[in-house]
Amino acid sequence: ILFSQVIGFIYGYITEQFGWTVYIVMAGFALSCLLTLPPWPMYRRNPLKWLPVQESGTEEKKSADRKPKRHAKS
């Protein structure tokens, strides 16, 4: 996206047409979306291992074990 912004700005400055700058930046954005958004097989070769899902009961137990904080008197 940054590369297309630089190219679009330079080309638009030379031709003195802001519309061309916008078109080039939009084309760069569309190209970057096409390359990154679909689940391409090359990106799925080494999937990340996520942490297992914890039960919601453990969070309630931890919050019940905490002592309430006392506020300092002013």
- Per-residue model confidence (pLDDT) at position 69: 66
Tokens of 9: 């700005």
CA 3/CA 10 separation, integer angstroms? 11
Q: How many separate helices (H) and strands (E) can be counted in the chain? A: 3, 0
The answer, yes or no, to whether residue 9 has pLDDT greater than 90, is yes
The answer, yes or no, to whether residue 60 has pLDDT greater than 60, is no
CA 58/CA 55 separation, integer angstroms? 6
The answer, yes or no, to whether residue 64 has pLDDT greater than 60, is no
The per-residue pLDDT for range 10-57, each reduced to its tens digit, is 999 999 999 999 999 999 999 999 988 888 888 788 888 888 888 876
Q: Whole-model pTM?
A: 0.55
